[in-house]
Amino acid sequence: MDTGIWPESESFRDDGMGKFPSRWKGICQEGNRFNRSHCNRKIIGARWYIKGYEAEFGKLSPSDGVEFLSPRDAVGHGTHTSSTASGAEVKNANFRGLAQGIARGGAPSSWLAIYKVCWATGGCSSADLLAAIDDAIFDGVDIISASLGSPPPLSTYVDDALAIGSFHAVARGISVVCSAGNTGPYPQTVINTAPWVMTVAASTIDRDFPAVITLGNNQTVVGQSFYTGRGLNKFHPIVYGADIAATNIDGTSAGSCDLETLNATLARGKVILCFQSRWQRSAAIASKSVLELKGAGVIFAQFPTKDVSCPWSFPSVQVDFEAGTSLLTYMAASRKPVVKFSFSKTVIGQQLAPEIAYFSSRGPSSLSPSVLKPDIAAPGVDILASWSPAASSKLLNSPQTKASPFNFKLDSGTSMACPHISGIVALLKGIHPKWSPAAIKSALVTTASMKDEYGQNTVAEGAPHKQADPFDYGGGNVDPNKALDPGLIYDIKPSDYVCFLYAMGYNSTAIGLMTRVHTPCHKSVKFLRNLNLPSITLPELKQRMTVSRTVTNVGPVNSIYVARIQAPAGIDVSVEPWILTFNSTTKKLKFKVTFCSQLKVQGRYSFGNLYWEDGIHVVRIPVVVRIVINNHLYSET
């Protein structure tokens, strides 16, 4: 579910692909620059949806060349996510010489069906999304990958199109994978929080793109950049944006190189040093501002992050505040300060990874805080994947760069992380075809890693960086191989989700309209904490509380699991029973976990883990608890 696809991309070749399954009912819907021949044994379905969009946003005209009234992708986003999830192997893939190597999707042998529900204007209609999910269910898909969503405030589950549509998909055994949102690192910003979907946070990988800045005194500063164009081999004068402010512009605005804040005469031919501010946080805006004034380049100083946000088509380098301040010191000490840039290059293995990306939206869920979100983290920073040439021609251009269309692009976001999980789910579904969406999510969450590649606790980028917790990455960083054999799973029936909606306080009429089924449920808030999720979240622990979970053995028939608790700070935790014995007749067992507060003061969230171990498998679920006194929660300001 995205902006369409560029079918000519090498990622969508059908070499070696078998005939699609006989149960498949999808179609190849024709339109502008897209006909049935663009589908093949890889792209086995393609549809596009415009009626809801035009009813909601007005008529969309493709005459300006910005969009195609067809499944063809004018944006690039849908092509990127599709190739990440399912793309065929492509040799010598690169973005303007960077990140060069072999690219392939997570499940390259999977079939791909495209449902274009979002358009180049940025609009996605709820009606179109529901129609697309309806069609996808009818067509016979196994997984829905949806790198889309709306920022808070979150709509109720009975009003949200993606929650409604995904409920019906999950009820029919279709896994739905969604992005967590890009408004981190702030708490309560996570989106797509329905318990029946998989919500994916973004993490970094151990690849970076260093660019060296050489000063006139031969000292160097290292930043990151995607620029590989011309005009880098000579020194240029460098000035601080605040020192060349336009008339009647304050120094703060000019210091961040906001649009129309710099003196055009003083900026021409120079490299401008810009500092991120509270009001201007974008390296792209700074670069556009300097480009319009015919500046030579930009150095953008900002908070530390692995995500490269500088544009690729103009000489710009991203540095942290420390490096930016050292440049200011050099400029103050030099009569004629000058700098030159080196070409950006690709370096692998020198970045500590994975870390949770700064932009990745954080929990707890603002709609249902008893449901831990996000669920899992996957790579989402500077990800190389296929792109739409039509989109590349519209990107920022400059005299230094010949902007020929490109077929691969580096991009960042939880939108990029989501299809990583979608591809992994496809692999798990292929090996365990009878597993439910809840079982697959459980396998991913309970086997995820809390460590980086050196065995240290995962770090979450932020202000400041900190040790990652479940609100950053749910169960942790995905470990696909371990998920193949999780040992135990926490399964959920669709009817349990209906009871969850009742426990949320929605009335029977609204629930009936959403689910189209009648499920007798007790309207008890206890159900919120007892929903059989692969996590335990108690947003309001007063004194003592007991929750229950049921696990299903999917490992060796005769297995004995022993509980181990890493208790959240200030909480006593006990498990009953603490030994689970499975055999040929006992495949499911229920256990209870009791929490008692040791503290008599209002507490923040604290985190722990519950483990079940049999000597082979380590089945871990995150535990999140907040102590509440006198039924009152004080918001932290």
For the annotated catalytic residues, the residue numbers are 2, 77, 415
CB 45 within 8 A of CB 39: yes
Alpha helices in 272-361 (DSSP H): 283-292, 321-333
- What is residue 11's DSSP assignment? G
- CA terminus-to-terminus distance, the chain: 37
Tokens of 179: 């992005």
Q: How far is residue 236's CA from residue 400's CA, in Å, rounded to a whole number?
A: 14
CB 593 within 8 A of CB 567: no
Burial degree of 156 (CB within 10 A; 0-12, 13-18, 19+): middle
DSSP-assigned states of every residue in 454-502: TSSBPEE-SSS-EE--HHHHTT-B--HHHHT--SEE----HHHHHHHHH
Residues contacting 13, CB < 8 A, separation 6+: 40, 42, 88
Q: How far is residue 179's CA from residue 164's CA, in Å, rounded to a whole number?
A: 16
Q: How far is residue 541's CA from residue 538's CA, in Å, rounded to a whole number?
A: 6
Q: How far is residue 555's CA from residue 552's CA, in Å, rounded to a whole number?
A: 9
Q: How far is residue 295's CA from residue 315's CA, in Å, rounded to a whole number?
A: 10
Cα dist from 480 to 427, 445, 484, whole Å: 9, 10, 7
Buried b (16+ CB within 10 A) or exposed e, 24-37: eebebbbbeebeee
SS (H, E, C) 112-137: EEEEECECCCCCECHHHHHHHHHHHH
CB 189 within 8 A of CB 226: no
DSSP-assigned states of every residue in 172-188: TT-EEEEE--S-TTSTT
User: Residue 188 — left, alpha, or beta (φ > 0 → left; ψ -120 to 50 → alpha)?
Assistant: left
